[in-house]
Amino acid sequence: MTLDPKKLAKFASIERGPRDFINIDPLQTGGKLTPEAQKAIVEWGDGYSVCDFCPGCLDKMKQPPVSEFVHEVLPEFLGVDGARITNGAREAKFAVMHSIASEGDSVVMDGLAHYSSIVAAQRARLNIESVGHSGNPDYYIDPEGYGQAIEKVTSETGKVPALALLTYPDGNYGNLPDAKKIASICHEYDVPLLLNCAYSAGRMPIDAKAIGADFVSVSGHKSMAASGPIGIVGVNGDYVDTVFRKSPTHKIKEIEFLGCTARGATLMTLMASFPAVVERTQRWDEEVANARWFSEKLEGMGLIQVGQKPHNHDLMFFEAPIFYEISQKVKKGRYFLYKELKARQIHGIKAGLTKYFKLSTYGVGKEDLSFVVDSFEEIIDKYNK
Ligand SMILES: *Cc1c(COP(=O)(O)O)cnc(C)c1O
């Protein structure tokens, strides 16, 4: 072994940098830990810390109360018959695809689907049929597109698709398509629908049954104030038996989850934040109002919010020709915006982006959002003198 301890020392003290910035990074706004979760991560940080009283499978654990959380609380929260903890939204999607479909089957998904939906389908050896959207500026998904895609797959392969997937909302424009309509169209063809709620469950109320979704995938680190990786899969109806089927040899172990998923601090942060998460989803109207207000302010400066308008979600995509023009003429080029925002302790727009970028207003609050708006204005004035 030739690993030099001196070289290794740096791993023992990695600092993250300032965390007191205003954060508008869509990946991060919904995943900031509550004080309760911060405590939990220290308390439960040791490996296998939750397993002291494990009866052999995670969801049956009484202490800590994982069983109550998984079997009573989460199904009610999501409107599903059964739920399980996964290591992320992608693992939830893969578990559904892998359990209900067979190699060579097709999955129909919206053209705005996250890459992880596509990779999950590939890992499950499924063919993907994409449902188009209207493109710029609305990126609207016509529910009828699902019917057309299902018919196309059926006529080309002689078999109805095993699954349809809808991204709710999509991770670029924050559009919330008509999920109820899409669910009902899919059901006309007996195709079950997986609603990918990575950006919604934990921010806004989600009721899979009311929507008609057969499955939901949830991301704890994206939208439930949890330290990842952690997620949830929700399942309705008879699909419960398929997705949660048990090993013939290890009778209490569920195959799709390799017997066990999150077994430590990540799960405990999800649980510790949960009361606050339930409370915040009930204040979703405020968040939408803040997002709309913010969008109007930026549009007043010449930026263009693309996607649904008025917007229905905190994740928003802006075109910013005014920043692009500045980037063409200043010394720091395309990094000027990042640097100006950093100087004002605002984090979240990717370094080097000016022409267009996405951001999230979730949980930022009106006061800090006003500061961001004022900062944008200041930056424009500064360079347009
Ligand atoms: C972030 C994101 C995911 C991935 O979530 P993980 O929990 O990290 O797997 C999936 N879908 C969408 C739409 C996302 O935005």
Cβ 22 vs Cβ 364: under 8 Å: yes
Domains and their CATH numbers in the chain: 7-24+284-383 (3.90.1150.10), 35-280 (3.40.640.10)
Q: What is the pTM of this model?
A: 0.97
- Per the listing, tokens 């706004």 go with 29
Tell whether ligand 1 has an atom less than 6 A from the beta carbon of residue 236.
Answer: no
Q: How far apart are CA 79 and CA 207, in angstroms?
A: 4
Residue 145: alpha-carbon gap to chain centroid:
23
Tell whether ligand 1 has an atom less than 6 A from the beta carbon of residue 90.
Answer: yes
> How remote is the CA of residue 289 from the centroid of ligand 1, in Å?
24
- What does the DSSP 8-state code read for residue 350? P
pLDDT < 50 regions, the chain: none
pLDDT for the residue 310: 97
Nearest CA to 212 out of 185, 174, 248, 230 is that of 185
Tell whether ligand 1 has an atom less than 6 A from the beta carbon of residue 89.
Answer: yes
Q: How far apart are CA 182 and CA 307, in angstroms?
A: 19
Q: Which of 114, 115, 172, 317 to mutate to test the pocket of ligand 1 (most atoms within 8 A of CB)?
A: 114
Tell whether ligand 1 has an atom less than 6 A from the beta carbon of residue 358.
Answer: no
> Which bin fits 244, alpha (ψ -120 to 50), beta or left (φ > 0)?
alpha
Residues 6+ apart with CB under 8 A from 250: 259
Ligand 1 atom at minimal distance to the Cα of residue 230: 7
Structure tokens at 154: 């059926």
pLDDT for the residue 332: 77
Tell whether ligand 1 has an atom less than 6 A from the beta carbon of residue 167.
Answer: yes
Burial class (CB in 10 A: 0-12, 13-18, 19+), 31: buried
| Residues pairing with 45 in the sheet | none
> How remote is the CA of residue 143 from the centroid of ligand 1, in Å?
22
Phi, psi of 273 (to 5 degrees): -80, -15
Nearest CA to 126 out of 138, 113, 109 is that of 109
Q: How far apart are CA 190 and CA 279, in angstroms?
A: 36
pLDDT for the residue 370: 98
Nearest CA to 232 out of 265, 209, 266, 264 is that of 266
Tens-digit pLDDT profile for residues 219-238: 999 999 999 999 999 999 99
> E-strand spans in 208-354?
215-219, 231-235, 304-306, 315-319, 346-347
Q: How far apart are CA 152 and CA 160, in angstroms?
A: 9
pLDDT for the residue 189: 98
> How remote is the CA of residue 332 from the centroid of ligand 1, in Å?
33
Report strand pairing: 215-219 vs 193-196. parallel
Tell whether ligand 1 has an atom less than 6 A from the beta carbon of residue 347.
Answer: no
Ligand 1 atom at minimal distance to the Cα of residue 113: 13
Which amino acid is located at 44 in the chain? W
Residues 6+ apart with CB under 8 A from 89: 116, 196, 197, 198, 217, 218, 219, 222, 231
Tell whether ligand 1 has an atom less than 6 A from the beta carbon of residue 203.
Answer: no
Nearest CA to 112 out of 287, 307, 362, 304 is that of 307
